[in-house]
Amino acid sequence: MPTPQLRITEIFYSLQGETRTVGLPTVFVRLTGCPLRCSYCDTAYAFSGGSMLSIDEILDQVAAHGSSYVTVTGGEPLAQKEVHRLLEALCDRGYEVSLETSGVLPVDQVDPRVVKVLDLKTPGSNESQKNYYENVQYLDSKDQVKFVICDRTDYEWTKFKITELALGDRVDEILFSPSHGQIEARELAQWILDDGLNVRLQLQLHKLLWDDAQGR
């Protein structure tokens, strides 16, 4: 039987720039390919290209960095079916594994040990019509839901979706990210405070430190 392979754009070691583990040294496995073309995408280089690696080769590269934390990202990692075997193998090795997914593909087969970071698309992304809301039922308290906010319209839409989908009852962390270059972080912070929202504002540490350099 052929050894399972995935198309990989890059594997690199950096500080986690977002989510609950922000600031912690983490190995990132970036898979190639994505069905979306979000207006604010900062990883268009992962749409194509990459190299085919076996799961064992990926595991060896991850292990070489000696980190306890691994993030599988993209592109859209769930677009490659073998990602589920990779996630399972990483969990079996004892890593704390998170999956960054756009939420347009089903997450019901994701290993339950994996922390799912579900990035629901706002209208400003130009891809909100592709959100697969059935995924919400497969979230639990350890998972996180992320919204990238481009403007006030996105903010009001997001508030409505949090209520409509009862996200506060599903997950412990709801993440608000100001779209880089489109909205000031302090403006979004003030809206959150004015409305008394129980959400986490995150500022993408990697962009502050390395100005969005590839492999960071």
Give per-residue pLDDT as tens, 55-101.
Answer: 999 999 999 999 999 999 999 999 999 999 999 999 999 999 999 99
| CB of 117 closer than 8 Å to CB of 144 | yes
> What is the full DSSP assignment across 47-90?
SS--EEEEHHHHHHHHHTTT-SEEEEESS-GGGSTTHHHHHHHH
Domain ranges within the chain, ordered by starting residue: 5-210
Give per-residue pLDDT as tens, 13-60.
Answer: 999 988 999 999 999 999 999 999 999 998 999 999 999 999 999 999
Q: Is the dihedral of CA 154, 109, 5, 21 positive or negative?
A: positive
Task: Band the pLDDT of 181: cuts 50, 70, 90.
Answer: confident
CA terminus-to-terminus distance, the chain: 36
Residue 198: other Cβ atoms inside 10 A: 10
Q: Is the pTM of this model over 0.75?
A: yes
Predicted local confidence at residue 214, as pLDDT = 59
Can you tell me the mean pLDDT for 152-163? 98
Predicted local confidence at residue 124, as pLDDT = 96
Task: Quickly name the fold that domain 5-210 has.
Answer: TIM Barrel (3.20.20)
182: left (phi over 0), alpha (psi -120 to 50) or beta: alpha
Give per-residue pLDDT as tens, 108-155.
Answer: 999 999 999 999 999 999 999 999 999 999 999 999 999 999 999 999
Residue 109: other Cβ atoms inside 10 A: 11
Predicted local confidence at residue 210, as pLDDT = 64
Half-sphere exposure (Cβ direction) of 25: Cα atoms closer than 13 Å: 6
